[in-house]
A and B are shown apart, each in its own frame.
Chain A
């Protein structure tokens, strides 16, 4: 069964303390990997799409990278406003009909001033 696993479940950082979030997936043919940010009580906000190993995308203090079996979301010098839950979703080749996504459980990030 295709699965997406995110780690850690929760992350507490001091402002300015850089860190990385992990998203690993069972390999059955990756069509695309997506990162979202979700604030409490709100819908997920799209951040990045990655399609092939070696690809990188950046936005402000966030940088997403992709290997053959996992993706990392690096947060550089985070600020309190970066506190949120970060969701990873994978589009597998065999479930490509309808562009369906399989989501991980998310990583809750808290950045303290």
Chain B
């Protein structure tokens, strides 16, 4: 089955720690995106990548970092510089021929 997987589903972090969220897709999509969702708010774009080894900041990139070494993978690191990291994180991908983005199941990050 083609799709987007995110792991882990739930993640707990102590203050001051960096954590990495995984996003993998086997749809052969060129573009990948990371969003953050807070209760009662719309999705906000953190980073996106249109091709391997290239990525751009979204609207709320401070305190986050990404890499795109393989077409299938786009991991997101939440660093200790992110002041309010507790949120639901969503990864999405898009083929080069279409505008629609397709989402993974999400990772819920909680800072203890």
Contacts and interface: CB of A to CB of B under 8 A. Distances in A.
A36 to B, nearest CB: 8
Contacts of A41: 106, 108
B29 to A, nearest CB: 11
A89 B106 CA distance: 18
B90 A44 contact: yes
Interface stretch (B12-20, B43-51, B62-70, B71-79): B43-51
B102 A46 contact: yes
A106 B48 contact: no
Interface string B89-110: 0101010000111111110100
B109 to A, nearest CB: 13
B43 A103 contact: yes
Given A87-B42, A105-B40, A42 B106 contact: yes
A44 B103 contact: yes
Given A98-B31, A98-B56, A100-B58, A4 B42 contact: yes
Contact of A99 (B31, B41, B58): B31
A101 B99 CA distance: 10
Contact of A87 (B43, B58, B106): B43
A86 interface: no
Nearest to B104: A43
A25 interface: no
Interface string A28-49: 0001101010000111111001
B101 A99 contact: yes
Contacts of A87: 42-43
Tell which of A4, A98, A100, A102 has the most Cβ of chain B within 10 Å. Answer: A98
Contacts of A36: 103
B106 to A, nearest CB: 5
5 contacts: A4-B42, A31-B99, A43-B4, A100-B58, A105-B42
The 4 tightest CB contacts between A and B, nearest first, are A103-B42, A43-B103, A103-B43, A44-B103
